[in-house]
Structure 1
Amino acid sequence: MSKPALRHLAIVARDPEALARFYSELFSMEVFHRDDDGSCFLSDGYLTLALIAHRLDGDVPVGMNHFGFQVEDVAATAAQLQAMGADLPAERHTTRPFAEYRAIDPEGNWFDLSAHGYGGSGAQHS
């Protein structure tokens, strides 16, 4: 992989399973992971789509939540972010097998950084 690649989008959904069926039927995306809370993760073989279960007691609104880049070297990307005046990415402590770090752009948008990819059939290619 010669340059970072946008490989992941996340949407907070009221009914992730129904939305997963929608994207599976319409665009032939495949579900490759489900969380215990009902969140569903799909792939078209290149990009992954995370449909995160909305919690009524949470403060995260429904809709676009974050996006993720696959990079060759997370440490080098983190150093570049810090040199640009941004905070260092935070390590994500999760049981999900992807998205090792979370960062924030100058407008406050969340994005993930991963050196090993975001899962799903074929989504690991560089």
Structure 2
Amino acid sequence: MTRPRLRHLALVVQDAAATAAFYRETLGMEQFHADPDGSRFLTDGYINLALIQQRLDSDVPAGFNHFGFEVADVEDTMDLMTARGAPRPERRSGNRPFAEYRATDPEGNWFDLSEHGFLPPERES
């Protein structure tokens, strides 16, 4: 089996546009997507950074939110996780172009699983 690869980190931020500009202008990251809610998605060419726009009507605090793995086979990975006592990952709701499943580790930390990676399909190599 191919080893899963850590491919993205996600932060909840108060001003996604300004935070994205900071990472573009100071560290040369490239923005490849913006959601209608204002969230921005950047890449250094390998690891992606999701800047999730904080909503005032939400109880999700600013700061670290989740990370994501690209895996060769989501079903095989989910079977391994459940065989080791972890909850079965759940399909992400809605039209999610960057991650198919949400999982938790034994401490309850969220992470995503994706077979296709975390860039839009036309950008994957």
Decide: shared fold, TM above 0.5. Answer: yes
Q: Let me know the Cα RMSD of the aligned residues.
A: 1.8
How far did 1:48 drift? Answer: 0.7
How far did 1:97 drift? Answer: 1.3
TM-score (norm 1): 0.93
Alignment coverage as a number of residue pairs: 125
Give, in whole Å, the separation in 1 of the partners of 2:8 and 2:31: 14
Structure 1 residues 65 and 113: alpha-carbon distance in aligned structure 2, compared to 1, 3 A threshold: same
Q: Where do 4+ consecutive residues of structure 1 move more than 3 Å?
A: 120-125
Q: Which has the higher contact order (CA 8 A, sep 6+)?
A: 1
- Runs of at least 5 residues in structure 1 that lack an aligned partner in the other structure: none
Deviations 1:51-87 (A, max 9, x none): 0010111011100000000000000000001001011
- Runs of at least 5 residues in structure 2 that lack an aligned partner in the other structure: none
* Contact in 1 for aligned 2:10/2:52 (Cα 8 Å): yes
Give, in whole Å, the separation in 2 of the partners of 1:31 and 1:94: 22
TM-score (norm 2): 0.94
Structure 1 residues 64 and 94: alpha-carbon distance in aligned structure 2, compared to 1, 3 A threshold: same
Paired-residue identity, %: 58
